[in-house]
Chain A
């Protein structure tokens, strides 16, 4: 397989599996867990080295996996004690483990080059060079096997526990009351996250994993209110980020993992501004519409209140400027719209309710505006 294809595929597999499990992390307000694990694994690597006297990646991977699982269990247990919030639990656990690693390095291994960057973290740009060789035969890039395996594992986990995951993500109390164990599901989820994160670190390094765990699910969260759609959108964004990131890295010749994470960020920004439901633009439009309708409602009610008295026909738009503090253009827009609907009439700068408008208002109240 050629280099670009291997790299894009590896990136897409990592991004997809991270987004899949990351969706549940975002819903559980534990999005920073990946970041935490990236630091917390240091003591695992150091201890693996002290035991094996080897800086090869396999012992490091084993050490990191064990500490990764310990990290998520500690976080979960602390959070479960109900004494700390999610983010505080994460914030307490990982510095403790990271500092333990730093102490171990400075006491035992200061003369050996050991840190997460050079021992554990892989580099996506090298993924096509690192082949899996069994019995002298090459089975293709190791990263594809590892990340593909992780993806399959995550997919099976989510498929098997979908109902449980959904329930405990949104309503753990209900889940507990109808016989599911939120605790068991959470511990399982956290274990899966830890395995996914550590294996992905080993294949592609940290930035891509940390970003893909959060950014595509966050974008999907803004685009959909349904769990299944959120997952599918997150995965789609993750895969698209991998391809777009590679193209970006090629055009400006820069770090590939960085470009992929950056692309995911751009997708998030697009969702943030342009989401039809939650996007900034949609919100602004919605607020504008509500305001305009309120203007028309108040105008109608005001006219109706005055219609019985003699001064009805003397109402001028300027009076409304004074009375409601509205701008002239705002009043003009409302008047234009209401006239077009035949609810009011104006002549010589004066406003009044038409017969049809009066009848409709008596019949339906301001709901008369619902579709106009």
Chain B
């Protein structure tokens, strides 16, 4: 066999391996998740499971709600599977987060909203309520679901869309939406009261990437992240140094890992703190960009929020 032939084989087997990895990682993530198998006639498709959970509660038995991004899927790295294509094609209503959470897919949805029922659930939120980096006007932080009060504003657009899509059951949707809004409001109060149990000087949440900005703002927790919103720029030595300094100064007892970001990032910070003589524990794994597996308590929006808050309380109190 010629040398060139062998190098070709190597090169191609590299791509084959790469494609296979991509293929099976997409298969493993279980693609879509059925959130309500009630078997209603309407088909509703949500991008994230957080949206899907709220939509399923409002729709009740009148619709089947599915979400594209299953547990542990980073919304920025989501790839469509073949069945997702059909789900997108057949959905009566597509709900997405907006604010650039879905990247290029969000752009396609925005254009599609002119010809089909495609709605960004964040549409009722005004710019003033959003977190925006001062130097980039209009580029808001999309992680709106960790401020429970802010998240309850997604109920409105979902109820309106369902009612206009299916006027016959509008009364049910209004009733369900009220229930959901009330639940969210009591969840908000629950989070507030629990976070209040943490002494004010220890209310500092250290995470891998900047997904908890809204949480921090609403519940007066100082949030410090190793990385910004974009994860393409790997954290620098300076970032670790800055974060370590902060942790040691404030005597932060625990740092947190996230379900969709590699844990070694935050472990690097832990090591750096230890080198400075401050022992910081890992408080556990917070759900950030995706909920837990369907069927578990963390597989609902409420369960996910409660899990995170309990974990934070336990570690920081």
Residues of A within 8 A of B (CB): 2-4, 7, 26, 31-32, 42, 53, 55-57, 101-103, 105-106, 109-126, 128-131, 133, 138, 205, 207, 210-211, 214-215, 218-219, 221-222, 246, 249-250, 252-259, 261-262, 264-266, 268-269, 272, 278, 280, 283
Contact = CB atoms under 8 A, between A and B. Distances in A.
Contact of B22 (A55, A126, A207, A222): A207
B100 A113 contact: yes
Contacts of A42: 232
B58 interface: no
A129 B108 contact: yes
Interface in B202-221: 210
Among B86, B139, B231, B233, chain A packs the most CB atoms within 10 A around the CB of: B233
- Grouping DSSP codes into helix (H, G, I), strand (E, B) and loop, the A interface class, with mixed when no group exceeds half, is helix
Contacts of A109: 136, 230
A372 B81 CA distance: 57
Contacts of A106: 228, 233, 236
15 contacts: A56-B107, A101-B232, A110-B228, A111-B230, A117-B76, A130-B112, A215-B15, A218-B8, A221-B8, A253-B31, A254-B23, A261-B18, A264-B19, A266-B16, A283-B1
Among A57, A110, A210, A252, chain B packs the most CB atoms within 10 A around the CB of: A110
Nearest to B136: A112
A132 to B, nearest CB: 9
B136 A111 contact: yes
B15 A255 contact: no
Nearest to A210: B15
A118 B82 contact: no
B103 A255 contact: no
Contacts of B231: 115
What class of interface size applies to chain B in its complex with A? 35 or more
A53 B232 contact: no
Interface string B75-106: 01101111111101100000000001001110
A105 B230 contact: yes
Contact of B107 (A57, A128, A205, A252): A57
B93 to A, nearest CB: 14
B293 interface: no
Contact of A53 (B81, B114, B136, B229): B136
Contact of B16 (A32, A55, A101, A268): A268
Contacts, number: 198
A210 B103 CA distance: 21
A126 B24 CA distance: 19
Given A246-B82, A255-B79, A117 B19 contact: no
Given A252-B27, A258-B79, A261-B15, A125 B136 contact: no
Contacts of B111: 130-131, 133
Contacts of B276: none
B230 A128 contact: no
Given A111-B228, A125-B81, A278 B11 contact: no
A116 B233 CA distance: 12
A316 B120 CA distance: 90
Contacts of B11: 31-32, 214, 218
B20 interface: yes
Nearest to B102: A118
Interface of B: 1-2, 5, 8-9, 11-13, 15-16, 18-20, 22-24, 26-27, 31, 76-77, 79-86, 88-89, 100, 103-105, 107-109, 111-112, 114-115, 133, 135-139, 141-142, 210, 227-234, 236
Contacts of A207: 18-19, 22
B230 A115 contact: yes
Shortest 4 CB-CB contacts between residues of A and residues of B: A125-B80, A118-B103, A110-B228, A265-B16
B115 A122 contact: no
Contacts of A7: 85
Contacts of A53: 136-139
B103 A258 contact: no
B22 A255 contact: yes
B23 A258 contact: yes
Nearest to B20: A262
B76 A113 contact: yes
A112 B227 CA distance: 11
A4 B85 CA distance: 8
Among B1, B2, B227, chain A packs the most CB atoms within 10 A around the CB of: B1
A131 to B, nearest CB: 7
Nearest to A104: B233
A348 to B, nearest CB: 45
B85 A3 contact: yes
Contacts of A253: 27, 31, 81-83
Contacts of B104: 57, 118-123
A109 B229 CA distance: 9
Contact of B12 (A129, A215, A258): A215
Contacts of A258: 19-20, 22-23, 26, 79
Contacts of A211: 15, 18-19
B138 to A, nearest CB: 7
Given A105-B232, A133-B111, A138-B115, A278 B5 contact: yes
Contacts of B105: 123, 126
Given A129-B112, A138-B115, A214-B12, A255 B136 contact: no
Contacts of A130: 108, 111-112
A126 B76 contact: no
Given A252-B27, A256-B80, A265 B139 contact: no
Contacts of A123: 79-80, 104-105
B235 to A, nearest CB: 9
Contacts of A259: 19, 23, 82
A148 B144 CA distance: 39
A225 B6 CA distance: 17
Contacts of B9: 272
Contact of A265 (B12, B89, B141): B12
Nearest to B13: A265
Given A118-B100, A123-B79, A125-B82, 10 more contacts: A105-B230, A113-B229, A113-B230, A130-B111, A254-B81, A254-B82, A256-B85, A265-B12, A272-B12, A278-B2
